[in-house]
Amino acid sequence: MCGIAGIIGKFQDRLPVMLDAQKHRGPDATGFFYDEGFAALGHNRLSIIDLSSNANQPFFDASNRYAIVFNGEIYNYIELRELLSGVYDFKTESDTEVLLAAYIHWGKDCLSKCNGMFAFAVWDQTDKSLFAARDRFGVKPFHYTIAADGFYFASEIKAIHAAGIEKVPNEKVWASYFAYGSYGKPDETFWENVQQLPGGHHLELNNGELEIAKWYFFENELKKQPKNLSHDEARNHYLALLKDSIKLRFRADVPIGFNLSGGLDSSVLLALVNDFDHGKSAINAYTFYTGDENYDEWPWVEMMLKDTTYPLTKVLLRPEDVEEFSQTIYFHQDEPFGGIPTLAYATIFAQASKDGVKVLLDGQGMDEQWAGYDYYSQAGDATIQGVKGSPYKINMLSGDFLNKAEKPVYDEPFEKALLNKEYRDIFYTKIPRALRFNDRISMAFSTELREPFLDYRLMEFAFSLPESYKIKAGVTKVMLREIAAEFLSENLVYAPKRPLQTPQREWLGNDLKNWVTSCIDKITGSIYARWFDVEALEKEWQHYQQGNMQSAFHIWQCISLFEMIQGLV
C-alpha cells in the first residue's frame, strides 16, 4: 500500500510537497521521476511484497519507455507473472513489475486480468501520454484536478491542495450531504476543482486531451456466472472462491493480522483464516471496545477465538479521547467520515502499527452481496441500518443552501428491487464510503487493509444467486449462514446483527456535549452560518440533549463541517 502523485505540466517542482503531504501512506521510501517539461511522477512506498529497494517506485521497464507509480496490491501477481514469463524478463519479485509488464503486453485489457485493489498511473516517455486506472470497486483512491497550468493527481486530496490548488468547499456536495446523507457522486469530492476517478474506470491524457472511460461492467459479468447450479453446488462454488480469496490475500512479506467484530462476517473471516493457516502463524487479532457493555462486542470475539491460537488485542476508545483523535482522523480523511465508530476502528490500526503489523484483513462486503441489512427486505430507499424515520434534518438548513442540494438518483439496471438496492450500496453508497473511510484510517498509520470478501469473483457470484439464497423467512444471509455452520457454533451463526458498535448517540449528548456545543457555536459564528437556519440548528441541538437521540447523524454532520472548515474561516 502506498501513495502516488504526479504532475503533467510545467510546475514539476511542486511534486515533493505533494509527496510530503501524504508521506504517512508510504514511509519506507520516496521516489521521483521527471520527464523534463512534460511530466513528474512520485511515490510514497509502504513495502509489503519484495521488500528490496529494487522494487521501489517509480518503476521502469527495461527500455525505460514506461514509468509506473502504483498504490495497492495485485493478489494474483504470481499467476500473472507465469503467464507473462515468456514475453517479459522479470528483474524483481514485486507485483508492481508484474502490473507494468501486464500493461505493456495487454494494454488496458490488463485491468480485467488483475485480481486486486489498485490505483496506478503509467507515463509513456515516447508518446508523452498518461494512462491511469482504478480497481473495480474503488478500494484505492485516485484524485485529480485539471488546472490552467497542468494536470495533477494524487492518492489524497491534501496532496493536491499542497500543490497550490485552492481549497474551496463544493457547496453542492456539502448541501447534498446535509440534506440527503450523500457523500457525492462517484466522480465528486467535497472540494471544488478536485475530482476522483470512479472505481472501475480508467483515464488517458494525450496532448492535453483527457478521456475517461468505464472498464468494469458489473452487469455484463453477472451474465457469465455459472447457471443452473443446485443449492449445494452454489454453496460449494462460493466456499471454494472464499477460500481462494483468503489464500491470495495472505501473500505478503510482512506480518499479517485481522480485525474482528462479534458479527457473522467476522466469524466467517476468522474461520476461513484458521482453516487456511491451521493455527501455524502468529497472527494477531484486533477488536475495539468503548467500555459500554450495551455496545462492546469483545465477549463475542473472545468466544470466536477460544478454539484458535490467535492472540486478541482489545483497543479502548474513551469519550475523553474523541475530540483530539477526531482532529487527527479528519486531517487524514480530508472529507466527512462516519462518526465515532470510524474513530474506534482507527484505534485498531494505530495499535497494529505499534505492534509492527503492516497488513490487516477485515470482513467488509458481505452485507452488500448477501442482503444483510434490515432495509433490504423493507419498502423505501433507506440506506442506514437500524434507524426509524429520517436521520436528516433539512429544517436546520437555510433555504438558499438547501436549494443547492441534489437528491441522489441511482441507476436501477435490474427488475428486482432487492438487486437494485444491493447495486446501489456496492457502487454508490455503503461500499464507496466505507472504502474511503477505511483507506484513510489504515494509511494514517502506515498499514495496509485487505478485504477478502470484496474479491470481485465473490461479489459477482453471490449477487447473481436467487433471492431465496439470501433472504428466507425473515432470515438474512441464508447461504452464508449455511457455509458458516460448517465451521462455527450455532450461536455465532445466528448472532444478531448489531448496527451500532459505539455509544455515539449517548456520548455526543452527554460526555461530549461541551465539545459539540463549541463546534456548533463556531459554525454559527463563521461565514458558514449562512448555510443554516441558525435558530433551527440550535433547537435541534437542544432537543438532542433533552433526549431526542434516535439518530446522531445530523449532530455528527455539524462536527464534520467544523473540522473541515478550520483554517478556512
Annotated binding site: 95
Neighbours of 243 (CB within 10 A): 14
**DSSP state for residue 334 in the 8-state scheme:** S
Cis amide prior to 319 (ω within 30 degrees): no
Q: For the chain, how far is it from start to end, CA to CA, in angstroms?
A: 34
Q: Per the structure block, which three cell numbers stand in for 229? A: 447450479
Beta bridge partners of 158: none
CA distance 204 to 186: 18
Residue type for position 34: Y
**Which ranges of 54-187 does DSSP label H, i.e. alpha helix?**
77-84, 95-106, 157-162, 171-180
Question: Which residues, in sequence order, are CB contacts of 532 under 8 Å at separation 6+?
Answer: 396, 397, 398, 401, 523, 524
For the chain, counts of helices (H) and of strands (E): 22, 19
Q: Which residue numbers belong to the known binding site for L-glutamine? A: 95
- The active-site residue out of 2, 110, 114, 558 is 2
| Residue 2 annotated in active site | yes
Return the half-sphere exposure (C-beta side, CA atoms, 13 A cut-off) of residue 188: 17
- Torsion (CA) 31, 35, 38, 39 in degrees, nearest 10: -10
Cα-based distances in Å from 389 to 246, 381, 384, 385, 401: 39, 11, 10, 11, 23
Strand stretches in 432-523, DSSP E: 448-450, 471-472, 475-476
Q: Give one DSSP letter per residue of 357-389, joined into a string.
A: --EEE--TTHHHHHT-SGGGGSSS---STT--S
CA distance 319 to 507: 7
Question: Which residues, in sequence order, are CB contacts of 559 under 8 Å at separation 6+?
Answer: 326, 516, 519
Burial 401-419 (b: 16+ CB within 10 A, else e): bbebbeebebeeeeeebeb
Which amino acids are annotated catalytic?
Answer: 2
